[in-house]
Amino acid sequence: MNAEPERKFGVVVVGVGRAGSVRMRDLRNPHPSSAFLNLIGFVSRRELGSIDGVQQISLEDALSSQEVEVAYICSESSSHEDYIRQFLNAGKHVLVEYPMTLSLAAAQELWELAEQKGKVLHEEHVELLMEEFAFLKKEVVGKDLLKGSLLFTGQCYVGSQVTSGPLEEERFGFPAFSGISRLTWLVSLFGELSLVSATLEERKEDQYMKMTVCLETEKKSPLSWIEEKGPGLKRNRYLSFHFKSGSLENVPNVGVNKNIFLKDQNIFVQKLLGQFSEKELAAEKKRILHCLGLAEEIQKYCCSRK
């Protein structure tokens, strides 16, 4: 990717919230991967005209334009599936923020469509590019897990507003999907997991939600994953892993996570350039589908007990 690009891929960004704004910034700044990409415009439901000199274009124009070869899908999770399908059918490569879809079947169908069209379908997972994850990966390698837990706390948000659970779920999916980055951490650290049980506690009048999931590794070691959101809860992550050789309680301050969306873009461009092996792509696809399948299983388990 250090070579001078022979051509640039025209890009449109769909959705200009937090992630979309960062994507546009990275596309406009001089980086090795950005040299292979040319930001054509952005698509938004809002009438914005332009942002920092980048023109708004209609979805129809983005789909039909010969200039546009790549779509970055940065909209709400509930809209991802439809946008991915439209852009793949229009012959465009797609980068999408996680979760790709809110069901396993839809993700499998879209991956098949991407393969039929010969296009790259890339699901962003910036949580795997964080310094904390790199630290954990080194810490757990070669160790036998006895038991572990991961708790995430925060507030319910839609846009910049704190809101109640139902509206957030309508736009970003069931907590197992909106919190799939935590599940991805656990699967990436300890391998494929199976569901033992799950509960969802909701107090809508208090804007409070707590999902508790009991999982186990292939060696039957128990792992618990908890998502807790409510007023006054600070965004934080607490973990505890116990091994035969010792314990790990939370992650020390291992530095600032710099340019993680740019690092993800670098991976995407490598895929566009055919620099990922089939083995690497297959392993990534298997992990993503496993996590989406688990998230769906958790949702069904919780909903069957309401």
- CA angle, 187 as apex, 33 and 170 as ends, to 5°? 80
**181 included as an active-site residue:** yes
Q: H or E stretch including 238?
A: strand 236-243
174 phi and psi angles, rounded to 5 deg: -55, 150
Question: Active site residue: 72, 103, 182, 228, which one?
Answer: 182
Instruction: For residue 192, give the 3-state DSSP assignment.
Output: coil
Annotated active-site residue 249? The verdict is no
Active site residue 28: no
Q: For residue 305, what pLDDT is reported?
A: 77
Quick one: pLDDT at residue 258? 85
Catalytic one among 69, 81, 97, 202?
97
Taking the C-alpha atoms of residue 205 and residue 233, their distance in angstroms, rounded to an integer, is 16
127 is catalytic: yes
Task: Check: CB of residue 162 under 8 Å from CB of residue 151.
Answer: no
Check if the beta carbon of residue 28 is closer than 8 Å to that of residue 15.
no
pLDDT of residue 256: 77
pLDDT tens-place values along the chain, 306 residues long: 655 567 799 999 999 999 999 999 999 988 889 999 999 999 999 998 889 999 999 999 999 999 999 999 999 999 999 999 999 999 999 999 999 999 999 999 999 999 999 999 999 999 999 999 999 999 999 999 999 999 999 876 444 344 444 456 677 789 999 999 999 999 999 999 999 999 999 988 888 999 999 999 999 999 999 999 999 899 899 999 999 999 999 887 887 788 999 999 999 999 999 999 999 999 999 999 999 999 999 999 999 876
Active-site position among 34, 44, 181, 221: 181
H-run or E-run covering 112: helix 104-117
Is residue 73 within 8 A of residue 44, CB to CB? The reply is no
- Are the beta carbons of 212 and 182 closer than 8 angstroms? no
DSSP letter assigned to residue 6: S
Check if the beta carbon of residue 43 is closer than 8 Å to that of residue 62: yes
User: Which 3 state secondary structure label does DSSP give 208?
Assistant: strand
Q: Which of 69, 124, 228, 296 is catalytic?
A: 124
What pLDDT is recorded for position 158? 43
- Residue 178 a catalytic site member: no
